[in-house]
Chain A
C-alpha cells in the first residue's frame, strides 16, 4: 500500500507531547527519602529538563529535515553514528516494552489478578502494533482523539478529590525541613531522567512537523504545561495521602482516588484512573515503538512497517525477562534512570557540542 507522506500539525505536536510526557506519570512514585518535598525536586528536575530540551531543539534546528538516526550519522560520521543510533533505536523499543510491563503489572495488581499476564501483554503489543502500522499520521491523530478523554478524566478526578475534601495542603509542610541539600542530591538523575528527559523521543518526529519554525515554541509550551501539571498532580496526591501513606502505597495516585466517596455512588473511581493509565501508557508505548521502528528503518533503509513487525515480538519477549514487579522497578530506578538515560543525555550533549564546533569551523571558514 502506498504510504502517504506523514505530516504533523502544530496542535498535534503539542497534544502528543502532553500525552506522552504525562503518560505514565500517575504511576510514578518518586524515591521516598524526600517525603513531602519531592515536588520541589520535580520542579528543579523539570527546569533541568528544559535545558536539555533547549539543547535538543538546537540540534534539531541545525538540520530540520533529519530524524534521530540521520542526525547521529551526520554528527558522528557514518559508522560511529550507526553504532550509536542502532542501540538508541533498540532502547526506544526497550522503553516501550517497559511500558507494557508497567501496564500488565498494574492490571495484575488491581483489577485482573487472575488473568495470565501473557494475554494482557499480547493485547497491548497487538494494539500498539496496529497503531504503529497506521503510521505517524494515525498516531498523532489518535493522540488528538484521546486527548479530550484524558482531560475530562483528570478533571473529574481533581474535582472529585477536592469536592470530597480529601486534600489537606498542610500535609506538604514543612517545606524543605532539611534545606535544599538533600533535594539537590537526588535531582539528577532521578528527577530529570524521568519523565522529562524522555522528550528526546520527539527528535524522531520533529522533522515531520509543519511549519517547522513553530516547533520550538510549541514544544516549550507543551513541556511547561506538562511539567506544571505533573507537579500539581503530585502535590495533590501528596496532600491527600501525606508523606507517610504516600510512601507506603505502591501507586499513590490510585490510592488517593480510591478514597473518594461522594453521594454513595461515586466512590469506585479506580476505573477512571485505570483508563487514564491505559491511555497514557498506550500512547507512550506506541510512540516509543514508532520511534524505534522509524529509527531502525532510517538506519537500515527498510520500510518502517517491516521494522515494526520485527520489533513487536522482541518487545513482547523482553517484557517477560524480569521475574517480578520489584525487579522491574529496581531496574527502572537503578539502571534505566541512573545510567541509561543519563548516558543518553550525555550523548546528546556531546552531539550538541560537536555540532557547535563544526558550525564554528564552518563559519570561520566562510569568513
Chain B
C-alpha cells in the first residue's frame, strides 16, 4: 500500500530492473493491438492460473471499444477495483473520439481514480505487475496496457520488536512488507538526501531488495560494491535477508558476521545517519546494515537514549560478557585441570571437594554440560510457547540440580556453564552471540589439551582472523586496528552526546565539501 506513495524515483528504478530481468530471460515481447491476442498471451504466460480474473468492461467513454481489466483476484483489493476503476469507467459521462493508445491515455488521465498507475507496452512487465497485485487494463486496438496499483498483500501490522527489546526508545519494529519498512525509515529520516535504490533478486521469487543510504554521508565506493554484488547474484530465490547477507559478505569462512541485522527502524536510521547502508529485503522484518565493525555489533540503539555514563558502562559489560561467554568454560578447564596453583588455596579445596567422586575428566564434564545447555536452548527456541516453562523446569531441576546431587557433574561446573550462558544472552546481536558459542567449543578443546597456552593460542588465532577480516572494504577491527582515536568516542564507551553529534555533523559537512 505504501509503495504507491513512493514517487517516481522508485518506479524508475523498478522499470530498470524490469528491463534487466527481461534481458536475462532473452527474447522481449510487446503488447499487440489485438485485445484477444494480448489476453491469450497473458493466459499462457501465467499458465492459465485459476485466480487470474478477466473482466470485460463496457465503458461510456467509448461504448463500442471492448476493454478488459485483468488482475489476480487473491492479490488485489476488491473495493479499490470497484470504487476507483470500474465505477468511474462504467458510469462516466465523458465521451471521447480518441481511440487506441490515446484512449488509454485519456483513461489514465481522466477516469481512473488511483494514484499509482502507468502505461506500459511491455508484456513481461505486465505479468510481473499482475503478480505484484496490479490491475492491467487493456483496450482493443491499443498496443499498450494501463497498470493500476490495487494490490492488497496480506501482512501484519507494525508491532513491537520481539528479538531486540529496549526499555527506552521507540517500540516499533519492521514487518514483512518492504513498503512499510521504507515508510518507517522515511518517517525518521525526512531528509531529501535519503536515497533508496530498488533492485530485484531471485529468478523465481522476484524479491524486491532496497538499498537505503544517505547520499552525502555514505561512501560511494561501498554503495557501489554492495549494489554490484547484489546485482551480480544469480539465484532463484530469496526468502529472507539472510540469503543476501551470506551471498554478498566479504568472506564466507568466518564465524563472525560482517553485517548487522536488526528489526528496529531506529537502529537502521541511526546506522544510515552514520553512513552505513541498509539493505531491505521484501518479506523479512530483518534489515541488514553494512559495513559494520566488530564493535558496532555490540552497540544498541538504547545506548544513545540513555545517559552516556550508564550507556558506556553497559557497553563495557557487553564486551566483557562476550569475552566471558567465549572463554569462561575454557578458563575453568585450564585452571582446574592444568593450573591449580592459580586458585587461592581455599577455593581450590572447595572445588576439589566438589570434584571428589565425579566420574568424568574436567574437559568431558564441561563439554557434556555445554552440549546439554545448547540442546536445551535449541529446544526452547523450537518449542511451542505453551510448553516453554516445562523445558525450564526440566533444565534447571533435572539437568542442573539432580546432576550435581547425583555426583555426575560438579556444582562449580554447573555455575560456570550457567554464567557463560547468561553472558551470551547479554550480547544484543544474535549472530555474534552464535559465533561466541561456536568458538567456545574450540577453546574448550584447546584448553583441555594445552591448558592456558591453548586458550591464548586460540585467542591469537581469532585475533589474526579478525585482523584480516573486512566488511565491504572496511577493516572489521577498526577503530582499534587500524587505530583511529576519533572513533574511539563511540566504541567501547559512548561519549556524551555533545561530542558525538558534533562529530556526525562534521562528517556530513566534510563529505559534502569533498563532493563539491
Contact = CB atoms under 8 A, between A and B. Distances in A.
Given A9-B482, A120-B450, A120-B453, A111 B339 contact: yes
Contacts of B460: 127, 131, 278-279, 282
Interface string A264-277: 11011001001100
B457 A145 contact: no
B26 interface: no
Nearest to B346: A264
Given A115-B450, A141-B475, A264-B344, A134 B468 contact: yes
Contact of A265 (B344, B449, B457, B464): B344
A289 to B, nearest CB: 13
Interface string B423-461: 000000000000000000000000001111110110011
Contacts of B452: 111, 271, 274-275
A189 to B, nearest CB: 32
A138 B450 contact: no
A138 B468 contact: yes
A134 B456 contact: no
Interface in B471-486: 475, 477, 480-483
B463 interface: yes
A267 B60 CA distance: 97
Interface residues of A, number: 38
B466 interface: yes
Contacts of B466: 145
B114 to A, nearest CB: 51
B461 to A, nearest CB: 6
A130 B461 contact: yes
A268 B483 CA distance: 33
A141 B481 contact: yes
A162 to B, nearest CB: 22
A43 interface: no
A194 B263 CA distance: 57
A127 B461 contact: yes
Interface string B328-344: 00000000001101111
B215 to A, nearest CB: 28
B10 interface: no
A141 B470 CA distance: 12
Interface in A103-143: 107, 111-112, 115, 119-120, 123-124, 127, 130-131, 134-135, 137-143
Nearest to A4: B470
Nearest to A9: B482
8 contacts: A9-B482, A119-B450, A123-B450, A138-B464, A141-B468, A144-B483, A145-B467, A274-B456
Given A139-B467, A268-B343, A274-B452, 14 more contacts: A9-B483, A107-B453, A111-B338, A115-B450, A123-B453, A123-B457, A127-B457, A135-B468, A137-B468, A141-B481, A145-B463, A264-B344, A268-B342, A271-B342
Interface of B: 338-339, 341-344, 449-454, 456-457, 460-461, 463-464, 466-468, 475, 477, 480-483
